[in-house]
Structure 1
Amino acid sequence: MKKFGNIYVIAATSVIGGALFGFDISSMSAIIATTPYKCQYNAQGNDPVTGQCRGPDASLQGGITAAMPGGSWLGALFSGWVSDRLGRKTAIQLGAGIWVIGCIIVAASVNVPMLIVGRIINGFSVGICSAQVPVYISEISPPSKRGRLIGMQQWAITWGIAIMFFICYGCSFIKSQAAFRLPWALQIIPAALLYLGLCVLPESPRWLAKKNRWEGTREVLVLVHGKGNPNSPLVGKELAEIREVVRLDRQLTDVSWFELIRPDSHAWYYIAYVFTMAGLGGDLLPSGIQFIINVAMTVPALIWQDRWGRRPTMLVGALLMCLFMSLNAGLFAVYSRPATAEDHFSTDAISMVVRGPPAKAIIASTYLFVASYAPTWGPVSWTYPPELYPLRVRGKAVALATSGNWALNFALAYFTPVAFASITWKTYVLFAVFCASMFIHCFFLFPETANKPLEGVAGIFEDESPGSIKYIGTPAWKTRNNRHAALQLERNIVDLEEKPADTPSIHESKSKSTLQASA
């Protein structure tokens, strides 16, 4: 079967796996406030005054919502094993098949346990795709476009959120259970497209090399990077560097999970609650606006992320997000009053009431938070992990990193409604502290990886060169984004034997550096 070699087609197809995550987010956030959903899963019974269904309480809703990221945590861990053995592309296809099974169970669910089981299966699928799509794209992309192409994963997530939200909004006018069952069933379509689309895409050349399938490796590099020219000097140089990495890897035993942690080696769900506190309960459109902002503001990252570099993008994003979380905390603390029985809210997670100009300021600050996240940590959080690790450990390492992300997503999904119910506005203080910690952590420990060959990033972590720090390597604040050199190399303007100034040659790396890169 003929394979497509256009790198943008490859990325656009594979990131449908990210869209699955987006579909899940808004398929829950847009539905939890609707009457059919509340009546089907009516754990609290009806309101004694209004007679309306109150739906699940804060703790149960947290469990329903968190089932997906809980499954994703497990799926992400599993993905490292299946990706290393069956291939990056096959792992993503497996995730697409599992998603279909989960959607069928969710759409047919008659009670909360069945709904939770379906969401866990859906999450398992998302865990596989979210971990291995960035690995696949990183291993097939040229350095100068890698950030843009992996960042398409986040853009696909934002499109998935927006598309499914407005599908749910349209279905919200249906007065039967189809209001939530139809959107949940429609999620099968993108998974089918993902599976079929991957059939005509090439496998990762670096995975093929790892399996000693060198003819296939060369064919993919010629198809994708050489534009069909088997004599492309860029293909020759890249193939030589991959050969050297694989040679060094084979001198070592198979990587263990423990080796990945040796020294040398989401609030979107509950946006409806926030807007209800600010006086916009019952209207889904304000929530839809922030999803549109998310889609639009991800575009700058796709265009300029490789030019900006990873470090400045993360630092600016963390600072802005901390600012807007702090602003929301202050506004709720000063201007809100506790919710009472007379407000007839369906859950105690809606614990505060704000009206007037402060409410508008909270809504604006929430939108600005989204606008800060979308071009910064949203796409970079997918781009950065697969760039850090050498081929030998990349599949498992990114799986472990992504599983950590999903573990925190589980905690966020489960505890956010409980936190709003118990500590009210202080929930935003907690989020602001997290953002401030991100800034400090990034400044001291996150090196720049933009525009560096995947086989060359390992040199950053060597701790034997002058000025390096033990167990860390080159201090993060001393690393640079040398985009000009990367572009020259790819355009064959410079001698291909000459390495970019800030990029260590793979031939200079020792076998020890392969392990140190996973620190």
Structure 2
Amino acid sequence: MDPLKIAHAEEKALDWPREAEVLARDPQQLEEAYRGGKSALRQVLQSPFVIVCAMAAAAGGFSFGFDQGVISIILVEPQFLAQFPLVDAAVSPSASFYKGLLTAMLEFGAFLGALQSGFVSDKFSRRRTLFNGVVWFVAGSVLQTTAFSYAQLVVGRLIGGVGIGTLAAVAPLYISELAPPNIRGTLLVMESFMIVLGVVVAYYVSFATRNMASDWSFRLPFLVQITPALVLAVLFFFLPYSPRWLVSKGRDAEALATLCRLRRLPRDSPFVLAELIAIKAESAVQYRAEAVRHPNVAGKPGLANELALEALRWKDMFSGAGIFKRTHIGLGLGFFQQFIGINALIYYGPSLFEAVGLDFSLQLTMSGVMNICQLVGVAPVFYLLDRVGRRPLVIYGGVCVCLSHAIIAALIGVYGLAWQRHEAAAWVCVAFIFVYMIAFGATWSPVPWALPAEIFPSTFRAKGTALATCSIWLNNFIIGLITPSLIGQVHGAGAFIFFAVFSAVGTVWCYAFVPETRGKSLEDMDKIFGDDSAVRDAAMREACMVDVLAEVRCLVSREGGTTCADGDRPNGGAARASDADSTTDKSLGKDEAKTDQVVVTTSDA
């Protein structure tokens, strides 16, 4: 079978409602139906099913934040140090290394989980992949809760991290594919908010159990983190497959039924039909692009071909100057987001507050307030993204966090050996830690997650955002590993000096390379990066949409007992097919291959 056909011979063709033909013959009416659906916010919010889907996916974000935040107090609890003396500086000369390794293994596991999640979610569905993430997470949490040896605790953090990385990578994808266009951004904001909320809740759960006399002071928080994951596991029995994934597998009838269920609209609703047509066209674009770039493996059965295609997809992100520039920005944002110190403060907050002279009780109290400051900073973030823009946020945010680190480091250097006589200086340090958290939450927290999806053309977007996510996790792992050693340098100022330097370098790098994407068209992105990737994608999408509409007209005509006109056949019109091929073939590089017009069908027409 032609690899360009999104086809499964065993699937029955969708019985399109007659109303679909009206939309297929009038592109303007199709667009109006799609935009009309976007304005129906009240109707959508009346669907509890959509909200439940989003809450279930956002629970993955809460689990992610909880597992990150739970370790902060636990690392300094006497009960924990007695059970795991390798991380106790009073007992082990290598405590900094073992503490860093324990903390960082969660992030390394998350890197592995994010790396494989794209391939697994494409092959087995987003729904099943999220469930697999829950299984990994629960298994890791159980190992951490029952650990009596350092080795088991590290393995538990690693396994739990695989689940966290899977949930963090797939949950936003699942939300975006289930949610209607008009509330998609809001639901994705909810997931980002849930991550930070998870950090805060985890901290205060650990804070509440810290005075338990037994080792349940640290085991109970490890156990509690399973709760949102178990809720998520139960909700999976009520969650649908993503309509976009169903279309990619040729299961159009199921996709239409799922959209009707999600939108609470009948199958002949113009909005539902317009959304399904748009999904089919986008799916066709992905298939066509891969078939043109990699004709030897795209669309061919067998695990070996699927793995080879997956490797080539990653390779594509470093081929071509324009795509490489985009990849460089995605990787760089992930790198600097971590190397300006956010997770060092989350993981090692009490230790850093010790460096500025606070006693143990105040270390714990101020660490909790610090996490709340990040929550405050995140709250207005999407208002700022739309009003201020992405580039100014990371530049001015970089200046702010750099100054915060530099001032704290300078005060520690001057007063660090005599905090008792300089309490005011200590509280200035605390204040600038809070300034840092608010500034980071409002600037560097959202942009490295949001901007990569805006700079990549659609056929590169999935892997581009995946690379950016992997960069965040891998650099998070490095920071978790090295921070304990940095804290002990220069009387406690070493970590702040290190992060101040990287904040300054990151700000200069953003000024030199990061573009503004607010209000920019696809053509504007091409001009910025010196290529025509987005324009080629747009031309391919237009050709695919023409073919999808032809397929709909033809299928409706056949169901009505009439014969398709030549122009209504999915492959009809030699001129159209020729034009679409030439548009694509001109610029896809040495792998270019002449192909027939894309056919988006569930069976041969």
TM-score interval (norm. to shorter): 0.7 to 0.9
TM-score, normalised via structure 2 length: 0.67
Q: Are residues 368 and 512 of structure 1, via their aligned partners in 2, closer, same or farther at CA, if it must alter by over 3 Å?
A: farther
Shift of 1:116: 0.3
Q: Are residues 436 and 88 of structure 1, via their aligned partners in 2, closer, same or farther at CA, if it must alter by over 3 Å?
A: farther
Q: Which moved more, 1:327-336 or 1:154-163?
A: 327-336
More helix by share: 2
The aligned amino acid for 1:63 is L
Query: 1:72, 1:125 within 8 Å by CA — same for their partners in 2?
Result: yes
User: Can you list the C-alpha shifts for 1:349-375, whole angstroms capped at 9, x where unaligned?
Assistant: xxx999411110111111111111112
CA distance in 2, matches of 1:387, 1:219: 30
1:251 equivalent in structure 2: 291
CA distance in 1, matches of 2:588, 2:349: 42
Q: Are residues 247 and 319 of structure 1, via their aligned partners in 2, closer, same or farther at CA, if it must alter by over 3 Å?
A: same
Query: 2:205, 2:221 within 8 Å by CA — same for their partners in 1?
Result: yes
Shift of 1:427: 2.7
CA distance in 1, matches of 2:488, 2:250: 56
Shift of 1:407: 0.9
Secondary structure of the residue aligned to 1:75 is helix
CA distance in 2, matches of 1:131, 1:30: 27
Shift of 1:333: 2.5
Shift of 1:171: 0.7
Q: Are residues 511 and 218 of structure 1, via their aligned partners in 2, closer, same or farther at CA, if it must alter by over 3 Å?
A: farther
Q: Are residues 243 and 399 of structure 1, via their aligned partners in 2, closer, same or farther at CA, if it must alter by over 3 Å?
A: closer
TM-score, normalised via structure 1 length: 0.77
CA distance in 1, matches of 2:586, 2:415: 55
Verify: 1:280 aligned to 2:280, yes or no: no
Q: Are residues 15 and 404 of structure 1, via their aligned partners in 2, closer, same or farther at CA, if it must alter by over 3 Å?
A: same
User: CA-atom RMSD, angstroms?
Assistant: 3.5
1:470 equivalent in structure 2: 530
Shift of 1:319: 2.9
CA distance in 2, matches of 1:179, 1:56: 24
Q: Are residues 302 and 444 of structure 1, via their aligned partners in 2, closer, same or farther at CA, if it must alter by over 3 Å?
A: same
Shift of 1:470: 2.9
User: Can you list the C-alpha shifts for 1:426-480, whole angstroms capped at 9, x where unaligned?
Assistant: 432331232233334434444455578xxx85x5553xxxx55435989xxxxxx
Shift of 1:261: 2.3
CA distance in 2, matches of 1:473, 1:319: 33
2:493 equivalent in structure 1: 425
User: Can you list the C-alpha shifts for 1:383-410, whole angstroms capped at 9, x where unaligned?
Assistant: 3334444554544443332221111011
Verify: 1:115 aligned to 2:136, yes or no: no
Shift of 1:191: 0.8
1:192 equivalent in structure 2: 230
1:486 equivalent in structure 2: none
Verify: 1:242 aligned to 2:299, yes or no: no
CA distance in 1, matches of 2:89, 2:399: 44
Q: Percent identity?
A: 28
The aligned amino acid for 1:399 is A
The aligned amino acid for 2:359 is G
Query: 1:137, 1:150 within 8 Å by CA — same for their partners in 2?
Result: yes
1:438 equivalent in structure 2: 506
Query: 1:337, 1:354 within 8 Å by CA — same for their partners in 2?
Result: no
Q: Are residues 237 and 357 of structure 1, via their aligned partners in 2, closer, same or farther at CA, if it must alter by over 3 Å?
A: farther
1:269 equivalent in structure 2: 347
User: Can you list the C-alpha shifts for 1:476-501, whole angstroms capped at 9, x where unaligned?
Assistant: xxxxxxxxxxxxxxxxxxxxxxxxxx
Secondary structure of the residue aligned to 1:136 is helix
Shift of 1:44: 7.0
2:378 equivalent in structure 1: 298
Shift of 1:412: 0.4
The aligned amino acid for 2:316 is E
Which of the numbers 448, 454, 458 marks the counterpart of 1:381? 448
1:209 equivalent in structure 2: 247
The aligned amino acid for 2:315 is F
CA distance in 2, matches of 1:442, 1:215: 46
Q: Which moved more, 1:3-12 or 1:241-250?
A: 3-12
CA distance in 1, matches of 2:284, 2:86: 60
Q: Are residues 471 and 221 of structure 1, via their aligned partners in 2, closer, same or farther at CA, if it must alter by over 3 Å?
A: same
Q: Are residues 110 and 235 of structure 1, via their aligned partners in 2, closer, same or farther at CA, if it must alter by over 3 Å?
A: same
1:89 equivalent in structure 2: 127
The aligned amino acid for 1:288 is G
Q: Are residues 390 and 90 of structure 1, via their aligned partners in 2, closer, same or farther at CA, if it must alter by over 3 Å?
A: farther
CA distance in 1, matches of 2:443, 2:265: 31
Which of the numbers 72, 92, 96 marks the counterpart of 1:58? 96
Verify: 1:69 aligned to 2:107, yes or no: yes
Larger Rg: 2
Q: Are residues 285 and 432 of structure 1, via their aligned partners in 2, closer, same or farther at CA, if it must alter by over 3 Å?
A: same
Q: Which moved more, 1:188-197 or 1:148-157?
A: 148-157
CA distance in 2, matches of 1:514, 1:394: 18
2:187 equivalent in structure 1: 149
Shift of 1:416: 0.7
Total equivalences in the alignment:
456
Q: Are residues 286 and 217 of structure 1, via their aligned partners in 2, closer, same or farther at CA, if it must alter by over 3 Å?
A: same
Equivalent residues in 2 for 1:11-26, closer than 5 Å: 11-26=54-69
Secondary structure of the residue aligned to 2:211 is coil
CA distance in 2, matches of 1:30, 1:354: 27
The aligned amino acid for 1:428 is F
User: Can you list the C-alpha shifts for 1:121-159, whole angstroms capped at 9, x where unaligned?
Assistant: 011111111122222233445566544432323211111
Q: Structure 2: any 5+ residue segments left out of the alignment?
A: 1-45, 295-308, 324-342, 535-579, 590-605
User: Can you list the C-alpha shifts for 1:142-183, whole angstroms capped at 9, x where unaligned?
Assistant: 566544432323211111111111111111110110000111
Secondary structure of the residue aligned to 1:358 is helix
2:270 equivalent in structure 1: 231
CA distance in 1, matches of 2:525, 2:98: 45
Shift of 1:223: 5.1
Q: Are residues 247 and 75 of structure 1, via their aligned partners in 2, closer, same or farther at CA, if it must alter by over 3 Å?
A: closer
User: Can you list the C-alpha shifts for 1:59-105, whole angstroms capped at 9, x where unaligned?
Assistant: 11111111111111111111122112112232222111111100111
1:364 equivalent in structure 2: 431
Equivalent residues in 2 for 1:403-414, closer than 5 Å: 403-414=470-481
Query: 1:290, 1:367 within 8 Å by CA — same for their partners in 2?
Result: yes
CA distance in 1, matches of 2:528, 2:407: 39
Which of the numbers 119, 139, 144 marks the counterpart of 1:106? 144
